[in-house]
Chains A and B, each alone.
Chain A
C-alpha cells in the first residue's frame, strides 16, 4: 500500500529524514516512533503529499502523493499533529464541509456518535477541549472511508477511556481492511495497534520489527529495588554494564547483558534490606534503549 524508498529531507544543514525506507502492506498497521525532532512528522508529511522530499521515491496505493494529489486525497485520510480548525464554525459545519469533499462522506453522524461528539454537534469547534478536537480531527480523517489513514500523534492529549475507544474503532476498521500508518509516543498504543514498528532517531531508522521482536532484541533485563538501596548502590555501580536510575524511592537496575544477573544477585544477596522485583521486559524499555534516551528521573 505504501512504498517509500530512500526518502531524504533537509532543512538547511540539518538532515531531518535521512534515506528512509518504509513499506506498509495493505491492511497493515505500522507505527513510527522516536524522540521529538526525530523526523516522524516530516516523513509522514512526505508520504501524505504535503511536503516534497529532497530525494527518494514514494507511492501510496500506486499513486504519487504530490502529482496524483487529487486521486490520492480520495483514498487517504489524514490527521495532522496539530489540529487546525477555523474559527466561527461548529462541529457539524465542518463535518458537512468535509462530507462534501468525498463521495462516501455522508456517514459522519455515526462517526461523531462513536467518538462521543454527537452532543457537541452544534458547538463551536474552537470551544471544544483539546481531546474533543483531537477526536474530531480523527473523525474527519476517517470520514471519506479512506483505504489508508495517516495519523500523526494519534491520541496525544486524550484521556485513557477516549484512547480505548479510538483504539477499538481503529482496530475494527483495520480488520475491515483499513491500512494505518501512525506515529505515537505511547508504547502501549503501539503494542495494542501496530503489526510493525519503525524506530526513527535523528532521521534514520534504527530498528524495525514487530513489537514482540523489538522487545526480545532490545529490551534489557531490569530489576527494581525498593527499600534501602543506598547501601547496595556503590557495589552495583562498580559492575560495568549495569545502569542505575533512581526513580523516586526506587532504584532501577538495567543489565546490558543477561549474564550479569548472577553477579548482581550475588551482591543483592548480601543486602537483605533491599527488596528486589524483576521487571517484565517492555516495548518502552526497548524504545528507550534504542533511542538512547534515559528514563526520566521522577
Chain B
C-alpha cells in the first residue's frame, strides 16, 4: 500500500512544474549567474573564499527550503482543502501515509537538486570538495528537518491553497536574499542583518558553508537554532495541524 502511495505522489510531483523548477533548476540557474559573474576565485566579499565554494552550500539551503517550505506544505494543503484526506479516512489507508510519501518525494527532489548543484559546480566552476563531508550531510539533514518542520506549521495555519501559497512565498522569497545565500551578509546594513538573524535559513546557510569550506568560526549557535526550530515547529504543528 505504501508503495502505491509513493508511486502516486511521485507521478504528481513529476507534473508539478513549480516544485521541479524551484527545487532542481532555479538553484542551478542562480549558481550559473553568480558563478558566471564572479567565478570561483578568492573574493573579498567572502572572506577570501571563492564565490562558488560559498554559494553552492548556501544554495543547498535554498533547495531544502523550497522543498520544505513550499512544495511540502502546498501538497498537504491541496489534499486537505479539497477534502481528499477526508475521503481517505473512509479507505483502509491512513492519511499519515500521504504525509510520509510527500516528505519522501520532496526529500528525493532535494537530494537530486543538491546533486545537480554540486555537479554543475564541479564541472563548470571548479567547485572544491567539502572540508567536512559528513558534517555537511548531517547539517543538510538538520536544515531540511527545520524547513519541513516550518512547512508543517504553514500547512497547519493555511486553510486554503491560496493562503498556503501566499504564506510560503512570504517565507521563502525573503530567505533567498536575506540569509546570505545569494547576497553576502557582510554587505548588509545592520537593519537587514537583524532581519537575516531572525530567519532560520540564515543559520542553515551559515552551518552548511562552514561544513563545505571549513573555517574557524563556531557554528554552535546555528546548530542550536536549527535544532530548536525543529523542536518548536514540531510542537506547534502537533498542536495545530488538522487532517480535515
Spell out A's residues near B (CB within 8 Å).
48-50, 69-70, 73-74, 76, 78, 80, 82, 84-90, 93-94, 96-102, 144
Contact = CB atoms under 8 A, between A and B. Distances in A.
A86 B92 contact: no
Nearest to B3: A100
B97 to A, nearest CB: 10
B93 interface: yes
B192 to A, nearest CB: 37
B16 A88 contact: yes
18 contacts: A49-B89, A49-B90, A69-B89, A70-B92, A73-B92, A84-B83, A85-B84, A86-B79, A86-B84, A87-B78, A88-B15, A88-B16, A97-B7, A100-B1, A100-B5, A101-B4, A101-B91, A101-B93
Interface in B51-85: 78-79, 82-84
Given A100-B1, A101-B1, A101-B92, A84 B86 contact: yes
A82 B4 contact: no
Contacts of A70: 92
Contact of B90 (A73, A99, A100): A73
**Interface magnitude class on chain B:** 20 to 34
Contact of B4 (A74, A86, A99): A99
Contacts of A144: 91
A113 B79 CA distance: 27
A96 B87 contact: no
A96 B4 contact: yes
A63 B172 CA distance: 47
A144 B15 CA distance: 27
B7 to A, nearest CB: 7
A84 B82 contact: yes
B90 A76 contact: yes
B11 A93 contact: yes
Given A84-B86, A87-B12, 16 more contacts: A49-B90, A70-B92, A80-B86, A84-B82, A84-B83, A84-B84, A84-B87, A85-B82, A86-B78, A88-B12, A88-B16, A93-B12, A96-B7, A101-B91, A101-B92, A101-B93
B21 interface: no
A106 to B, nearest CB: 12
A73 B15 contact: no
A85 B87 CA distance: 9
Contacts of A100: 1, 3-5
A89 B15 CA distance: 8
B8 interface: yes
Contact of A78 (B7, B12, B87, B93): B87
Nearest to A69: B89
A77 to B, nearest CB: 8
A98 B11 CA distance: 15
Given A82-B83, A100-B4, A50 B15 contact: no
Contacts of B8: 89, 93-94, 96-97
B91 A73 contact: yes
Contacts of A74: 92
A99 B5 CA distance: 11
Contacts of B78: 86-87
Nearest to B5: A97
Most chain A C-beta atoms within 10 Å of own C-beta, residue among B11, B86, B87, B93? B87
A19 B16 CA distance: 47
Nearest to B11: A93
Interface string B11-35: 1100110000000000000000000
Contacts of A99: 4
A50 B90 contact: yes
